[in-house]
Amino acid sequence: MSKQQIADRALLELGRHLLSEDYRFITPTPLTHERVYQRFSPPLAKNLRDVFGWSMPFDHTLFPRDVLAGLEQAEIVEREGPLWRSTVRWSSLEGGLYAHSAYPTTQADAVFFGPDSYRFAQLIDAHLQQRFEPVRRAVDIGCGAGVGALVIARAHPQAEVLAVDINPRALRLSAVNAELAGVDNVSVYQSDILGSVEGEFDLIIANPPYMNDSQQRAYRHGGGALGEALSLRIVRESLPRLHKGGSLLLYTGVAMVDGQDPFLEAIQSLLTDHAVGWTYRELDPDVFGEELLKPGYERVERIAVVALTVTRRH
C-alpha cells in the first residue's frame, strides 16, 4: 500500500475505535467553538472528545506510546510545541461518524463540517421521504466530508451515488467516511461541478461554499461579489443533466442586500428557460452574522440559508 492508503486505513481504524467507545460530538459554529475555547486558559484535552471533537492540544501521556506513534505516522496527529494536536476532527450525524478537518479550518484545502451539514442532511432526508420516483443515479457536488452522498446511499442502497469535489482531501475523507458507514455504492471523483462525470442523474444535490472569503479557501469561497457565483454555476450546469422527473436540491446561503434576495433574482431567469417546476424557501433567516463585519459585506443586512428544489418535468 502507498503511504496515503496506509494513512487512510489508520484513519478508518480510528473511526471504528471511536464508534466502539460510543464517541459522540456535535460540531458547533466556529464562533461557538471559539467561545468555548475562551473558557480555558489554555485549553488542554482530557479525553477523546476534547482531542477529536474540540480539537484541543493534548499531552503525550493521553495515549499509549505505540498508539501515539501510529497516529503520528499516519499524520492524524502532529506536534505543537511540547504538546500534540489532531489534524482531523470526528463529528456525529444520524448515528454515524464523519472525519473532517480539525478546528480552526485555516488550510486552503480544509474540509468543513458544521451546522450547515446537519441542516443539509435533514433537507435531503425530507426530500427523499417526499419523492415517489426511484433514485437510480445521484451525485453530491462539492461533497466535502460526504454527508449528502452518504444520506442518499443509505436511503437507496441500490443507487449509484457519486461524490465529487475539486479538493483531493475531501475525496479521501469522503471515501473513508463511506467505508466507515458500511456503504458500498458511493464512488468519489475529482470534478469541477459535473465537468468530469458523464450522463444524467435522478438526483443532484449540493451544499456549496457561499461566503466571500478573502483567503479563497475552497470550503468557504463561493466567488462573485458576495459568494453567490458557485451556487449559480451549479444551477446552470445541473439542469441539463437531470433525467425526466429528476431533481436538483441546492442548499446554500444568500447575502441579503437592502431587503432583496440577489440569488433568487439571478436564478429566476435560468429556471424559466427550462421545463421545470421549482420551490425556494429560507431555512434560517440569519447565520454567520460575524461575517457582516468583513470587507465586502458593508451593504449586507443578513446571510440567510435557503433551499432550492428544481424538478425536470420532461
pLDDT of residue 222: 81
Give the residue, 275 or 162, on which the prediction is more confident: 162
Residues 78 and 120 in one domain: no
Residue 225 — very low, low, confident or very high, per pLDDT cuts 50/70/90? confident
Residues 182 and 308 in one domain: yes
Residues 261 and 158 in one domain: yes
- What proportion of the chain, given as a percentage, has pLDDT over 70? 99
In a domain, residue 106? The reply is: no
Residues 173 and 263 in one domain: yes
Q: How far is CA 288 from CA 65, 103, 285, 303, in A?
A: 41, 16, 10, 7
Residues 32 and 119 in one domain: no
The pTM of the full predicted model, rounded to 2 decimals, is 0.95
Write out pLDDT tens, residues 104-153.
998 989 999 999 999 999 999 999 999 888 899 999 999 999 999 999 99
For the chain, what is the largest distance between any 2 Cα atoms, rounded to a whole number of angstroms?
A: 63
Residues 229 and 277 in one domain: yes
Residues 128 and 82 in one domain: no
In a domain, residue 124? The reply is: yes
Region of poorest pLDDT, from 31-45, 69-83, 129-143, 268-282 = 268-282
pLDDT of residue 219: 78
User: Hey, CA dihedral for 235, 154, 145, 292, is it positive or negative?
Assistant: positive
pLDDT of residue 241: 97
pLDDT of residue 273: 65
Residue 1 — very low, low, confident or very high, per pLDDT cuts 50/70/90? confident
Identify the domain boundary among 66, 101, 136: 101
Identify the domain boundary among 51, 75, 101: 101
Instruction: Tell me how far the alpha carbon of residue 145 is from its chain's centroid.
Output: 5
Domain that holds residue 196: 115-312
Residues 152 and 51 in one domain: no
pLDDT of residue 274: 64
Contacts within 8 Å (CB) and 24+ apart, 40-43: none
Residue 313 — very low, low, confident or very high, per pLDDT cuts 50/70/90? confident
Residues 137 and 83 in one domain: no
State how many domains the chain has: 2
Give the residue, 133 or 66, on which the prediction is more confident: 66
Residues 137 and 284 in one domain: yes
Residues 102, 169: Cα–Cα separation, whole Å: 13
In a domain, residue 134? The reply is: yes
In a domain, residue 56? The reply is: yes
Mean pLDDT of 185-194: 98
Residues 168 and 275 in one domain: yes
Residues 139 and 247 in one domain: yes
Write out pLDDT tens, residues 253-292.
999 999 999 999 999 988 986 688 999 999 999 999 999 9
In a domain, residue 133? The reply is: yes
Mean pLDDT of 173-196: 98
Q: Which triple of cell numbers denotes residue 145?
A: 466530508
In a domain, residue 62? The reply is: yes
